[in-house]
Every structure is written in structure tokens, then in C-alpha cells.
Homo-oligomer: A and B are copies of this chain.
């Protein structure tokens, strides 16, 4: 496994490997089992795998946690090495943005709800840096986690709209034993917050069961039920709870047998956690492959 810090250096390394399939796993580092599952899938499917680690300032808003976002380059490198990925691309901000960038990639519509609403500009920053990484690496496949469901939908749509010559692969959320979705931000949680944070998974998965039993006809009923569960945790402060059509992310009234996603963002102290679950008759059918 080789760590590469410059764009030119990475291009030089990848040049002789272009005849094979190249996989990219873009991350912000502080890797956990969620990231590692993406990397392992990439290693299985591709001849050359590049894991990028870049905490992208463009996707953090003012007052967000860019400065205190957790970083551990050495542990990241060890973990990537164990997966069998060939390259760890770890540019600094000067390398990615040698001057203040004037260019933005924006995806409208899909970013009007959920995190797009509570983090204005976030997905412009994500779409822009992912475009940069796609141009630097030239991957045949790029891997994203379903935990960031809106990001996955946005990137997939961007790749289609702009005719990127690659496949966007979305892999299932990896969870702790008690169901909490893996996230680099989980280390921020105090023991009590960590305990209460399991409400995200519990409420979503029980809502999915209730929905399949026919308990909810309207999206608003599911939303209210999930909100009630979360509010029962004294340290939880809801950012949003939404039930939207999937993958269009549009408001729905009657759920019926349509494929919807329940998505939540909840603050525990300074820490904002997200999670989501797809409600469908047959999950595999409406999960965008």
C-alpha cells in the first residue's frame, strides 16, 4: 500500500493500471468498519483500488465541525493497508484547491430536503470534491455508503447527468452491535449520549416493521411516531425526521406500497448524527443497485 499526496503523483502511478478496473473509495478519513466494508468490496471487484482521505473544507458550513472533525492519518493508513487497497490518496487542501475555487457542481431538487436543508451548501461541496476526485483518479467504480443516503442519491444523479464514465456503487450501512450506524463522529459522544443515540436505529427499524404491518398509511404518521421515540431520549434534539419517496426524495402523503426512505438527523450535544432506512415491500427491489 502506497500513500500518495499529489495529484500528479497519483496520475503517474495509475497510468500503467488504466487497462484494469480502477475503484475509488472517497472518504474523510478516521476510518471505521463502514468505510472498510466499502474498501473491501472495491478490492473484491477492482484491479486497483484508491482510497482517498480528504477532509473537504468546501462541504462544511460556518459553525460546523471542520476544525474538530476527527483525524488519524496513521491509523487510517494501517487500516487501508490491511484491506489490500493499493493506494491511499491523501492530498492537503492546497493540493485540491491551489486557489480559491470559482467552480461548483450543484445538484438541485434532490438537495432541497434532509441534510440539504439543514446544511446549506453542503452538497455543492460534496458534489464538487467528488467531481475533482473522479477527475484525478478516473475510476471505473466509486463506492459510497447507504448511511449517507442523500449523498449517494445526489452523487448517482450527478454522475448520470454529467455522463461520468463510471458506476456509483452504494453499499449497506454498517452498524455497531446495538444498531448505531458507524460514523467517525460517534467518538464525540459521551457515554450517556452514546447510549441514547441507539434510538435512531431502534426507532427506524421498529417504524419499518410497523409500516410493513400496515400501521402507517400516511408519511406524517410514521414521522410523528419516530419523532416521539426520539423525543423520549432527554439528550436528543431533532434536526429533522422525514419520510420521502426514494430515490427521488420528494414529499409523499400516502405511503401505500411505494418505496420510501425514513431519514433522521439528531443532535446529541455538539454531535449531529444521521441514519436512514428504506421502507419497501421488497427492499431489494427499490434499493437502487
Residues of A within 8 A of B (CB): 7, 11, 18, 96, 101-110, 127-128, 131-132, 135-136, 138, 157-158, 161-165
Contacts and interface: CB of A to CB of B under 8 A. Distances in A.
14 contacts: A18-B18, A96-B163, A102-B107, A102-B108, A103-B157, A104-B106, A105-B105, A105-B162, A131-B162, A132-B162, A135-B162, A135-B163, A135-B165, A136-B163
Nearest to A127: B103
Identical copies of this chain, number = 2
A7 B163 contact: yes
A53 to B, nearest CB: 17
Nearest to A138: B165
A161 B129 CA distance: 10
Nearest to A157: B102
A157 B162 CA distance: 18
A89 to B, nearest CB: 12
Contacts of A128: 162
A136 B103 CA distance: 20
A137 to B, nearest CB: 10
A103 B110 CA distance: 10
A184 B114 CA distance: 46
A138 to B, nearest CB: 7
B108 A105 contact: no
A168 B127 CA distance: 23
Given A103-B106, A106-B106, A135-B162, 20 more contacts: A7-B163, A11-B165, A18-B18, A101-B161, A102-B108, A102-B161, A103-B108, A103-B127, A103-B157, A103-B162, A104-B106, A105-B162, A128-B162, A131-B162, A132-B161, A132-B162, A135-B163, A135-B164, A136-B163, A136-B165
A103 B103 contact: no
Contacts of A165: 11, 135-136, 138
Contacts of A138: 165
Contact of A104 (B7, B18, B108): B108
A224 B116 CA distance: 47
